[in-house]
Chain A
């Protein structure tokens, strides 16, 4: 069953949020995800961290693997993954808006 948020993933929570955001743009294989996470300003994902996070997201039903192309396998967001991403980004947007308002920059 999909969790309510990503906090249960502990040190993989932040990479997972970036991975889900990357997959929101369409299915991608491992290295393409790493590249896009870096472009989004996320952490530099090594292969060990990336596949540990992907295994957790897959297990939770937030992403699913597509048939492999040569040795690369694309992943895509499931509807549960999209729902959770929407919730997480909404929470971050509210936090961002509140913080910026208090700083007087919004």
Chain B
């Protein structure tokens, strides 16, 4: 005998019907009032008369689309998209930047930077631009993050899971870095061996997983949160600075490779790359990753600045 299908309980059924009726409204109206109507139905219930009232409301909203400020909603979404686009680009860029840091920390490269002014200048440029990018990212991200956490604490349940995942990703990253440091101090494996390569690959996979989960969860949380226009305008301006700083760092990294090739061709063509790989391959991979992430951030930053210039009314 086929088991009886469970009938949804009355509040669930009511919520489903209300969600279906709200879909009859124009999209801009749903984005502005949809959540509120569903909250209203959650408190007040939904009988046939109220369902009919919603249908009449949907017809009215379609006859009077001018009632909802479409332009304002689109602008808010563009500004939010700009901040999130640069955040994603920056996260990838940081991974590439860590690769550059790892590549240039070897003694041969620090000695070359001391010998050749051009190499030293690129390193200093990257340090200054990375500090500018970090400060701008904090200026953009801290108020948005605080607003999101405040809304979660005020009972916005949709934010609980993504914010929990962000916290978990941060703990995971800190734990991985601490374990890496402890392992490096206690019994480091000789570089170039299979065991060493596997260990490094494991650490990298762990960090990449944490960063990917953390960024995806942060993006979800910010998309679900209610952010004021002022906060998003500030965020958009700050992330434009981040994108510009990324472009400067990309230029300096390209310049570093070209300067090394002309100043010390033997070192450039050696196998002093990350974990004793080809220097050229390591540099080219880092530049490729930086180029992709900078292109993403610049596109998002420019779109945000264009939206920011428009009047808000």
Contacts and interface: CB of A to CB of B under 8 A. Distances in A.
A30 B36 contact: yes
* Interface size range on B against A: 35 or more
Given A70-B154, A70-B156, A52 B60 contact: yes
Contact of A72 (B29, B39, B49, B57): B39
B38 A71 contact: yes
Contacts of B52: 46
B67 A55 contact: yes
Contact of B56 (A48, A68, A72): A48
Contact of A46 (B29, B49, B151, B156): B49
A48 B40 contact: no
28 contacts: A30-B36, A31-B44, A34-B44, A46-B52, A46-B54, A47-B40, A47-B44, A48-B54, A48-B55, A48-B56, A50-B40, A51-B37, A51-B57, A54-B33, A55-B32, A55-B67, A59-B69, A67-B228, A68-B35, A68-B36, A69-B155, A70-B39, A70-B155, A70-B156, A71-B35, A71-B39, A72-B36, A72-B39
Interface of A: 29-31, 34, 46-52, 54-56, 59, 67-73
Given A46-B57, A70-B156, 18 more contacts: A30-B36, A31-B39, A46-B52, A46-B53, A47-B44, A47-B53, A48-B54, A51-B57, A52-B60, A55-B67, A56-B67, A59-B69, A68-B35, A68-B226, A70-B39, A70-B154, A70-B155, A73-B35
